[in-house]
Amino acid sequence: MWGNAFTACARASGTGRDSDPGEKRGVGAVSSPTFNGMNPPAASGFRRTAITALLERVVATTPVIDIHTHLYDPLLGGLLWGMDDLLIYHYLAAEAFRYLEEPPEEFFTRPKTEQADRIWHELFLAHSPVSEACQGVLTTLHRFGLDPHVRDLPALRAWFAQWPLETHVSRTLEIANVAKVYMTNSPFDDAERAVWEKGFLRDERFVAALRIDPLLVDWPGAARRLSDWGYNVGEGLSASTCGEVRRFLADWTRRLDARYVMVSLPPDFAFPASSDTAQLIERVVLPHCQELGLPLALMLGVRRAVNPRLQLAGDGVGRSDLSALARLCEGFPQNRFAVTVLSRENQHELCVLARKFRNLHVFGCWWFTNVPVLIEEITRLRLELLGLSFTVQHSDARVLEQIIYKFDHTRRILVKVLADRYAELAATGWETTEAEVRRDVRELLGGGFERFCQPAA
Ligand code: HDL
Ligand code: ZN
């Protein structure tokens, strides 16, 4: 029982009454006495220490299933890695543009190393790297055993450049303790489509997700492309056109062995509606997902190209009307929806909706919410409203090594938040075994999502 695990930890940490071997304590004996029916006091210091020590071990050693990234199977091509890609990541570029004199258009014409030089100077040398994206680079270097304090960018570049990619991929996944990576795979990406059509030997650690934004947010443009690819579609959403779009989705779901279908939608996404987006979701995407037993992953609240001059760094955020999500969950109980929202203001409402609809799985602290202050706030909110039935984090990594810091930072917060919850349990006398803690953490770090993805029996 927790008492054993807990006592062992207390003994190991050499603190507290419970480490006294002479005392025989039965179930509940470790709980604090109730004071005239008042709530027992929160778990005292030594108990917290024991709980935190156990959680640090369990959270660190529980492999993560990373359910949304922009990483690629090494043989698919397009995988970004190494020091320059870490530095020119669009999160850092956006922060550097706040200091750089030159216009973004000029900056983007420069070679990657020159862009990285400028970002390194502005965000690490001329100003302390206190932002989450900057600290992430330093956490990553530290976990590789590198000392960025030398501030020698050429030496850091050379360290990365020496490794064969396959070796580096395996070592990075091992350091991050990530067991599986869900990619973002788009047939609308010309380079990627060509490799899928030719075929390649898959790395089982990288699984596919079919990303269909162009289909849903720019139907006229997508219709022209589907037509070029041999799908007999017209611009109007006739029954035959919808049938052809389903054939397109079926072809690519099969080619990728896609585990879910994903789209990101703007804050003004409405459902039900007469828009192409709503009509295609209702008449094509959801029937396809239901037929193949796939969840539809929705990422809601992104305002694309708020400042297009910043390219990938130019997107912004807006608060979504989540009544659209409520109508989807209610209207399509046979479909499953994995959802994350970009606006902090939408987080509470999303949790309440998840309490109403079991076909809604909440995941991740996406993009602008992937900062410690909000990861902690959002994870506490979800634990207190949803218990363990959500997925704490996805990395959204675009550069291989980012999975190290994105999960290192989340794991630290998860230990803190879970320690509070388990300490509250312990203070009521509820003992949790180490096996139960391991089960709970597995659930939160991707196990629950993979079960959510399984078609109903
Ligand atoms: O649409 C998305 O999948 C977002 O995650 C964007 O790719 C965004 O640019 C990003 O990388 N966020 O972390
Ligand atoms: Zn993403």
* 349 pLDDT higher than 70: yes
Residue-level pLDDT at 45? 76
Peptide bond into 272 cis (omega under 30): yes
Looking at the fold, whether 295 and 215 belong to one and the same domain comes out as yes
Residue type, 119: I
- Is the pLDDT assigned to residue 245 strictly greater than 60? yes
CA of 396 to the centre of ligand 2 (A): 5
33-68 pLDDT, tens digit per residue, is 444 445 445 556 778 899 999 999 999 999 999 999
Q: How far is the CA of 387 from the centre of ligand 1 (A)?
A: 27
Contacts of 381 (CB under 8 A, 6+ apart): 347, 348, 351
> Is ligand 1 within 6 A of the CB of residue 336?
no
Residues 322 and 367 placed together within one structural domain of the fold: yes
Q: Is residue 425 part of a domain?
A: no
Instruction: List all residues 6 or more positions away from 341 whose beta carbon is below 8 Å from its beta carbon.
Output: 299, 300, 301, 320, 322, 347, 350, 366
Asked whether residue 359 is domain-assigned, the answer is: yes
In a domain, 447, yes or no: no
Which pLDDT score is estimated for 332? 98
Each residue of 117-141: pLDDT tens digit?
Answer: 999 999 999 999 999 999 999 999 9
Compute the distance from residue 396 Cα to the ligand 1 centre, in Å: 6
Helix, coil or strand: residue 270: coil
Tell me if 106 is assigned to some domain. Answer: yes
* One domain, residues 47 and 107: no
In which domain, by residue range, is 399 found?
64-71+183-415
d(CA 175, CA 332): 40
Q: Give me the CATH number covering residue 147.
A: 1.10.2020.10
- Please give the distance of CA 339 from its chain centroid, rounded to a whole number: 11
Does residue 400 fall inside a structural domain? Answer: yes
Confidence tier at 453 by pLDDT (50, 70, 90) = very high
Taking the centre of ligand 2 as the mean of its atom positions, its distance from the CA of residue 366, in whole angstroms, is 8
Q: 188-204: per-residue pLDDT in tens?
A: 999 999 999 999 999 99
Give long-range contacts, CB 8 A cutoff, 24+ apart: 273-280.
Answer: 273/324, 276/216, 276/219, 276/220, 276/237, 277/216, 277/217, 277/219, 279/237, 280/215, 280/216, 280/219, 280/237, 280/242, 280/245
Distance separating alpha carbons of residues 429 and 431, to the nearest angstrom = 6
Q: Nearest residue CA, atom 1 of ligand 1?
A: 264
Asked, for residue 149, whether it belongs to a domain, the answer is yes
Grade residue 15 by pLDDT with cuts at 50, 70 and 90: very low
Give the residue-averaged pLDDT of 249-265: 98
pLDDT for position 1: 33
Provide CB contacts within 8 A for 25, sequence distance 6+. 3, 7, 18
- Alpha carbon distance 261, 293 (integer Å): 11
Counted domains in the chain = 3
Cα(68) to ligand 1 centroid in Å equals: 9
**Do residues 53 and 88 share a domain?**
no
The CB of 132 under 6 Å from ligand 1? The reply is no
Residue 347 sits in a domain whose CATH number is 3.20.20.140
Within a domain: 140: yes
Calculate how far, in angstroms, residue 363's C-alpha sits from the geometric centre of ligand 2.
12
- In a shared domain, residues 55 and 119: no
Instruction: Supply the mean pLDDT for the chain.
Output: 92
Q: What number does the ligand 1 atom closest to the CA of 213 have?
A: 1
In a domain, 7, yes or no: yes
Verify that 321 and 394 share a domain, yes or no. yes
Ligand located closest to 67 CA = 2
Neighbour count for residue 352 (Cβ, 10 Å): 12
Residues 120 and 267 in one domain: no
Which residue of 263, 302, 396 sits with most ligand 1 atoms within 8 Å of its CB, as the best mutation to test the pocket?
A: 396
Q: For the segment 152-164, what is each residue's pLDDT rounded down to a tens digit?
A: 999 999 999 999 9
- CB of 312 sitting under 6 A from ligand 1: yes
Checking if the pLDDT of 416 tops 90, the result is: yes
Q: Where are the alpha helices (DSSP H) in 286-401?
A: 286-292, 323-331, 347-356, 372-386
What is the pLDDT confidence band of residue 32, given thresholds at 50, 70 and 90?
very low
Q: Is the Cβ atom of 340 under 6 angstroms away from ligand 1?
A: no
285 burial type by CB count under 10 A (0-12 exposed, 13-18 middle, 19+ buried):
buried
What is the spatial order of strands in the sheet that 178-182 belongs to? 64-66, 178-182, 206-207
The bridge status of strand 337-341 relative to strand 296-300 is: parallel
* Ligand 1 pocket, residue 396 CB under 6 Å: yes
Give the pLDDT confidence score for residue 41 in this predicted structure.
Answer: 52
Give the pLDDT of residue 4.
41
Kindly state the tokens that stand for 213: 């934004």
pLDDT bin (cut points 50, 70, 90) of residue 73 is very high
Same domain as 208, residue 357: yes
Residue in this structure with the two tokens 């220490």, named with its chain if needed: 49
Q: Other CB atoms closer than 10 Å to residue 451's CB: what's the count?
A: 10
413: DSSP letter: H
Rounded CA-CA distance 368/243 in Å is 37
Task: Name the least confident of 31-45, 95-109, 286-300, 303-317.
Answer: 31-45
Same domain, 268 and 410: yes
pLDDT at 268 over 60: yes
Burial grade of 420 (CB within 10 A; 0-12, 13-18, 19 or more): middle
Residues 316 and 370 both lie in one domain: yes
Bridge partner residues of 303 (DSSP): 316
